[in-house]
Amino acid sequence: TSPNQTYRTSYHFQPPKNWMNDPNGPLIYKGIYHLFYQYNPYGADWGNIVWAHSTSEDLVNWIPHEHAIYPSQQSDINGCWSGSTTILPGDKPAILYTGIDPQNQQIQNLAVPKNLSDPYLTEWDKSPNNPLMAPTTINKINASSFRDPTTSWLDPDGRWRVIIGSKRNHRGLAILYRSKDFIHWTKAQHPLHSANGTGMWECPDFYPVSTSRSGLDTSVIGLGIKHVLKVSLDDTKHEYYTIGTYDHIKDIYIPDNGSIDNDSGLRYDYGKFYASKTFYDGLKNRRILWGWINESLPQPEYVKQGWSGVQAIPRHLWLDKSRQQLVQWPIVEIETLRTNRVDWPSTVLKGGSMLEVSGITAAQADIEISFEVPELEKADELDQSWTNPQTLCSQKNASIKGELGPFGLMVLASKELQEYTAVFFRIFKGQDRYVVLMCSDQSRSSLNQKTDKTTYGSFIEVDPIHEPLSLRSLIDHSIVESFGGEGKACITARVYPTMAIGDEAHLYAFNTGMESVQISKLSAWSMKRAQIN
Ligand code: DQQ
């Protein structure tokens, strides 16, 4: 049966049908970008997992290939789970991935290209040495919590390092292995890092960053460089990262502030975004992030629909000048899909008003808007107890009037506003500064009772006295990917409107607050359809 097309995307990466989850082993080879992904060839729910494979010359348009890795030997007969690629000396890609063996143990395998002169890397040979890493009675690794090898890095001592996600009791672990030849791996005594109370660490990612937008290849160490450790928490399906220092002599990672295990942790995305992975793009000198946007439909519904899961638009990422967080921005190539540009002159958006952004296809659009707020001193006081931004966004949803805000965008909105997704800001007066909250409110996104309508939110490190408050949203039928403060906070939502579909979808700038705000800039575009698979 062919999948229901209503909510399929026009420029986000999807296979033609069936289940997709984690992005795997992204890389660039001989000028061609590769994306592998967790895929079920037989249905729209999770299972029978293989590495499906597509390639692209521009990260926008993709062609499909045969599955790169699928169950074929003892060491992966029950599934080919997530993993990463590493470019070995001589420009030789290598995949490390988790195989599920006949006893359903999680073990780590190696695969290398059959033919290095094929830029599409369509065929992969599994190592006769598989598995390279496995749980034993001596290493005491938990055989059902040992998966998702990272891209490896080479230290000055000439040995490769890789980390594997794991847990012991409720402590999340980044188990470290070392190897001289990429085949024989020895487990280090200590994990690279661990944290109590987090549960299983899935899909860890570990890489160097600097405040330059130029990215760093994974083995680079040195002055001015920080490291990022990201983990995906199986218990909550949220990802957290910290910024810190990698001590390559002691082989440990030390976060600068806080840790993964407290809930003030940093996230790439405060909405639906999971099992993400970065890679270094040596062609354009940048680090790129891929992440899976998981479903907001319940399982029987997405099975009925015939497809499930989308990849977020790849994001260029770097270290913010504060060195306290990352900044992310959709790859510049996505702008080649922009068409029908609409610009507004500077416009006052009065309290309690809304203005339609017309002239573009509102269900398939890219919009950038900036606000200036003249009367900051009028801001409501921030209550000391309002520490959780997501809770605050749910309590003060898009319909709750404040002094400054909510103001922002109503997207995928039906004409009479029976349905809308609201992405907006509120400004509060904190102890010694203004505090900006960014929310994505899905509570009215659909009349369909069955979809997950959780509201998301984040505080965002912008100073509204000195800089305009900017918001960019990528809208693609059932996806709203929003970037606040030039990429300082990102929120991705998965929505299933029943009325605001296709030409019936509208886009508005709105201000439900008491005070006026100024729209200092607004540019919006229809997005053309990309050629995807
Ligand atoms: N998905 C894979 C696992 C990984 C999980 C299985 C994260 O390797 O831990 O499909 O979504």
DSSP string covering 355-385: EE--SS-TTEEEEEEEEE-TTGGGPEEPPTT
Could you tell me whether strands 421-429 and 380-381 are parallel, antiparallel, or unpaired per DSSP bridges?
parallel
pLDDT band of 257, cuts 50, 70, 90: confident
Q: Which parts of 270-321 are beta strand (E)?
A: 274-281, 286-293, 307-308, 310-311, 315-319
Closest protein CA for atom 11 of ligand 1: 275
30 with 171, same domain: the answer is yes
Instruction: Answer yes or no: is 5 within a domain.
Output: no
- The Cβ of residue 410 has, within 10 Å, a number of other Cβ atoms equal to 25
Last residue of a domain, one of 309, 330, 351: 330
Q: Which atom of ligand 1 is nearest to the CA of 274?
A: 11
Provide φ and ψ at 330, rounded to 5°: -55, 140
Residues 6+ away with beta carbon under 8 Å from 169: none
What CATH number does the domain containing 444 carry? 2.60.120.560
Q: Which atom of ligand 1 is nearest to the CA of 202?
A: 9
CA-proximal residue: ligand 1, atom 9 (nearest): 202
pLDDT for 315 beyond 90: yes
Compute the distance from residue 122 Cα to the ligand 1 centre, in Å: 23
The letter for the amino acid at 34 is H
pLDDT, tens digit, for every residue of 137-172? 999 999 999 999 999 999 999 999 999 999 999 999
Mean pLDDT of 465-489: 97
Ligand 1 center to residue 188 CA distance, Å? 24
pLDDT of 20 reads: 98
- Are 116 and 222 found together in one domain? yes
Boundary of a domain, candidates 330, 354, 373: 330
Alpha-carbon distance 44 to 282, whole Å?
35
| Pocket residue to mutate for ligand 1, from 76, 78, 81, most atoms within 8 A of Cβ | 81
Q: Which residue has the tokens 């599409």?
A: 120
Residues with CB under 6 A from ligand 1: 21-22, 38, 49, 81-82, 98, 147-148, 202-203, 275
Closest C-alpha to 312, from 466, 480, 457, 521: 480
Displacement of CA 3 from its chain's centroid (Å): 25
Q: Does 533 reside within a domain?
A: no
Alpha-carbon distance 77 to 533, whole Å? Answer: 27
Active-site residue flag, 22: yes
Which ligand 1 atom is at minimum distance from the Cα of 165?
9
Query: Which ligand 1 atom is at minimum distance from the Cα of 148?
Result: 8
Q: For residue range 355-393, what is the model confidence (pLDDT) as tens digits?
A: 999 999 999 999 999 999 999 999 999 999 999 999 999
Is there a single domain that holds both residue 300 and residue 444? no
Does residue 506 surpass a pLDDT of 80? yes
| Separation of CA 108 and ligand 1 centre (Å) | 13
432 falls within a domain = yes
Identify the residue whose C-alpha is closest to ligand 1 atom 10.
81
Q: Kindly report the average pLDDT of the chain as a whole number.
A: 97
> Could you tell me which residue, 261 or 501, shows the higher pLDDT?
501
Mutation choice for ligand 1 from 82, 101, 231, CB with most ligand atoms inside 8 A: 82
Average pLDDT value for residue range 481-499: 98
Instruction: Indicate the DSSP class of residue 334.
Output: G
Please report which confidence band the pLDDT of residue 4 belongs to, taking 50, 70 and 90 as the band edges.
confident
Contact 226, 208 (CB under 8 A): yes
Q: Are 279 and 359 contained in the same domain?
A: no
Residue nearest to atom 7 of ligand 1 (CA): 275
CA of 49 to the centre of ligand 1 (A): 10
Residue 448 lies in a domain: yes
Q: ipTM of this model?
A: 0.99
Do both 173 and 299 map to the same domain?
yes
Residue 13, domain member (yes or no): no
Q: Residue 187 above 80 pLDDT?
A: yes
Residues 36, 167: one domain?
yes
Which atom of ligand 1 is found nearest the CA of 81? 8
CATH number at residue 206: 2.115.10.20
Assigned domain for 275 exists: yes
Residue 7 maps to a domain = no
What's the pLDDT at 351?
A: 97
325 and 338 share one domain: no
Total structural domains within the chain: 2
Q: Is residue 3 part of a domain?
A: no
Residue 52's closest CA among 240, 316, 307, 313?
A: 307
- In this structure, are 449 and 417 located in the same domain? yes
- Segment 408-429 shows an average pLDDT of 98
Q: Measure 27 CA to ligand 1 centroid, in angstroms.
A: 19
- The average pLDDT across 39-56 equals 98
Q: How far apart are the CA of 35 and the centre of ligand 1, in A?
A: 16
Task: Looking at the CA of residue 38, tell me the nearest atom of ligand 1.
Answer: 10
- Let me know whether 238 and 338 are in one domain: no
Instruction: Say if CB 97 and CB 69 are below 8 A apart.
Output: yes
Report how far ligand 1's centroid is from the alpha carbon of 83 (Å). Answer: 9
- Averaged pLDDT for residues 453-458: 98
CB count in 10 Å sphere of residue 292? 24
Q: Ligand 1 mean position to 350 CA, how many Å?
A: 47
CA dist 361 and 365 (Å) reads: 6
| Residue from 19, 24, 37, 38 whose mutation best tests the ligand 1 pocket (most atoms within 8 A of CB) | 38
Between the CA of 4 and the centroid of ligand 1 the distance, in Å, is: 26
Segment 420-435, tens digit of pLDDT: 999 999 999 999 999 9
Q: Tell me the mean pLDDT in the region 505-517.
A: 98
Q: What is the mean pLDDT of residues 395-411?
A: 97
Average pLDDT over residues 120-125: 98
The number of residues in the chain equals 533
Residue closest to 193 by CA, chosen among 155, 240, 237, 138: 240
- 117, 96, 89: which is closest to 32 by C-alpha? 117
Whether the CB-CB separation of 107 and 75 falls below 8 Å is answered with yes
Q: pLDDT band at 1, cuts 50/70/90?
A: low
* 293 plus 360 within the same structural domain: no
- Mean pLDDT across 236-240: 94
Contacts of 322 by beta carbon, 8 Å cutoff, 6+ apart: 461
Q: Does residue 301 have a pLDDT over 70? A: yes
Note whether 420 and 459 are same-domain residues. Answer: yes
Give the pLDDT band (50/70/90) at residue 23. Answer: very high
Ligand 1 atom closest to Cα of 106?
A: 8
- 40, 439, 502 from 524: Cα distances, Å: 36, 20, 17
Kindly name the residue from 22, 101, 205, 269 that is annotated as catalytic.
Answer: 22
Domain span at 515:
333-527
The verdict on 42 and 130 lying in the same domain is yes
Give residue-wise pLDDT tens across range 261-299: 655 689 999 999 999 999 999 999 999 999 999 999 999
Q: Using the atom order of ligand 1, give the atom closest to the CA of residue 98.
A: 8
| Nearest residue by C-alpha to atom 6 in ligand 1 | 81
Ligand 1 centre to CA of 98 (Å) is: 9
From 142, 203, 294, the mutation candidate for ligand 1 (largest count of ligand atoms within 8 A of CB) is: 203
Contact 270, 489 (CB under 8 A): yes
Percentage of the chain modeled with pLDDT above 90: 97
Mark which of 314, 330, 346 sits at the end of a domain: 330
